[in-house]
Structure 1
Amino acid sequence: MERFKDTSSQPSRREIREARRRKGGGALEFLLILAISFALVFGVVRPFIVEAFYIPSESMEPTLQVNDRVLAAKFVYYFTTPERGDIVVFRSVENPDEDLIKRVIGLPGDTVAIQGGTLFVNGQPRQEPYVARGVGGFATFGPVTVPEGHYFMMGDNRSNSQDSRVFGPVPEENLIGDAFLRFWPPGRIGLI
């Protein structure tokens, strides 16, 4: 006696193709999703939300090293203003095509001075555990008053940083974003 296979419960080739099409579809759908993703990243995320920046110099050592890569939140300053101690990416005062990264030291209206290597803001000495120690730098500077709508920026490596002591306070419109995450190199990934 010959046995026949019951194929009534198995799907046909046409049914398999239909199921695949319904499940998610093919190259055209993938390309469309990819194109939309690129448009969102480069048309919305990078210009308005977050952007990666490369650290080219030693001016922020020991906090940031040469060749580190950081992310800066660009939207933050639409809703709030920088605070003392924030690490900020901004367009250079001297060369608008160049982006710099420094720490906010003085807010609008603050008086900033350095005496004997100690930073004073509004006449009060500031504790700065992030500053590179034992490297000299400006032993005396100022006092200067930060104009309204400007911020006084300094690198953590005070002896090797071209900052507001050289080019003056940074206008608020030059601020790009608040650096918040080091994502490269892998061994140094973390919040900053």
Structure 2
Amino acid sequence: MHDEEDMIPTLDEEESIDQIENYTLQTTSARSSLLRRAPFIIGMTVLYFVLRQLDHNFVFNPVNADIFLLLIIVAFVTSIFALSLVVQTKQEELHKKQLYRLFKRTNDVLDFLSVIPTLMVLFTLANMFFISFSPISGSSMEPNYHDNEAVIFTHFNVSYERYDVVILYVEEYQDPYLIKRIIGLPGETVLIDNNEVYIDGELLPQTFIDQDTVKTYCYNSDDIDTCEFTVTDNSYFVLGDNRDGKAVVGEISGYSRDSREFGVVPYEDLFGKVILSFKDYNLLN
């Protein structure tokens, strides 16, 4: 038989019991947090890859870069690990200090990683429906847009007007995405004659280029000075600003390949209208 005094917990024993109860509560809280975060990350990861397949502007989405794909895969795998950890943990183990620390560390990691798929989904939605980013490669739009710069263009409920700078697609080119300026609208006749451009017989002002420096020649024509184009319905006639490769004084670069070479551009091959440019912006290259 034990004395009553032996049945009463000592101070050290009471502290030990309190610690066990505290770790159980803390571990349970961390476990609940994991059960929220891990499925969220898994769901957002799946959503990103679904949107990625549906994105008509896929090529312009900066979060499709390899580094972001690696990060979202890491987040996904870590979430699977967290869920398996929660499922395999028995109720009677929740009091263990080591388990609490493992849950807490995993929860902290998921807290950070959850930002990645969230941002990737938001960027992809913006890229699908509102705005996109594109680096500029080449000199065809000099002196207004330069090589190694970048632009933001919109494709949300956009209507195109003369002089708009647009991103377009030309299937037969090795690098099919181009940046050009709209010159001719659907139904119009564009005449290039001795360095001047006429729309339906009226001289077109071109204040965005120096016509003393930049010459507008014709391609695929017996007469390089004179050629005429009819813009079909739902199509556009586009030109680069650097039409002969001499837009920048003292430099000779490649000339603009535009509607003088590949003809008018159907509306469905226009990806959007440029609304902003960045000078010396190399992040997207």
The interval holding the TM-score normalised by the smaller chain is 0.7 to 0.9
1:69 to 123, 136, 150: 150
* CA drift at 1:80: 3.8
1:92 maps onto 2:173 in alignment: no
Structure 2: gaps of 5 or more residues: 1-21, 31-106, 218-223, 245-254
Deviations 1:50-82 (A, max 9, x none): 22112211111111111111111122xxx2421
State the number of aligned residues.
Answer: 162
- 1:127 is aligned to 205
Aligned residues of 1:93 and 1:167 also touching (Cα < 8 A) = no
1:178 maps onto 2:273 in alignment: yes
CA distance in 2, matches of 1:127, 1:137: 13
What one-letter code is carried by the residue in structure 2 that aligns with 1:38?
M
* CA drift at 1:85: 0.4
Aligned residues of 1:61 and 1:156 also touching (Cα < 8 A) = yes
* CA drift at 1:34: 3.0
TM-score (norm 1): 0.75
1:152 maps onto 2:237 in alignment: yes
Aligned residues of 1:88 and 1:178 also touching (Cα < 8 A) = yes
What one-letter code is carried by the residue in structure 2 that aligns with 1:92?
V
Q: Considering fraction of residues, name the structure with more helix.
A: 2
* CA drift at 1:47: 2.8
What one-letter code is carried by the residue in structure 1 that aligns with 2:265?
V
1:105 to 167, 173, 183: 183
Q: Give the secondary structure class of the aligned counterpart of 1:35.
A: helix
- 1:3 is aligned to none
- 1:7 is aligned to none
Aligned residues of 1:73 and 1:177 also touching (Cα < 8 A) = yes
- 2:134 is aligned to 53
Aligned residues of 1:94 and 1:167 also touching (Cα < 8 A) = no
TM-score (norm 2): 0.52
* CA drift at 1:40: 1.5
What do you get for the CA RMSD once the two structures are aligned?
2.4
User: CA 1:93–1:118 in structure 2 vs 1: closer, same or farther (change >3 Å)?
Assistant: farther
* CA drift at 1:178: 0.6
CA distance in 1, matches of 2:155, 2:158: 11
- 1:36 is aligned to 118
Highest relative contact order (Cα 8 Å, sep 6+), 1 or 2? 1
CA distance in 1, matches of 2:167, 2:158: 15
* Percent of residue pairs bearing the same amino acid type: 34
Larger radius of gyration: 2
Structure 1: gaps of 5 or more residues: 1-13, 187-192
* CA drift at 1:149: 1.1
Q: Give the secondary structure class of the aligned counterpart of 2:205.
A: coil
CA distance in 1, matches of 2:175, 2:146: 22
User: CA 1:55–1:164 in structure 2 vs 1: closer, same or farther (change >3 Å)?
Assistant: same
Aligned residues of 1:61 and 1:132 also touching (Cα < 8 A) = no
1:136 maps onto 2:231 in alignment: no
Q: Give the secondary structure class of the aligned counterpart of 2:168.
A: strand
- 1:161 is aligned to 256
* CA drift at 1:132: 4.1
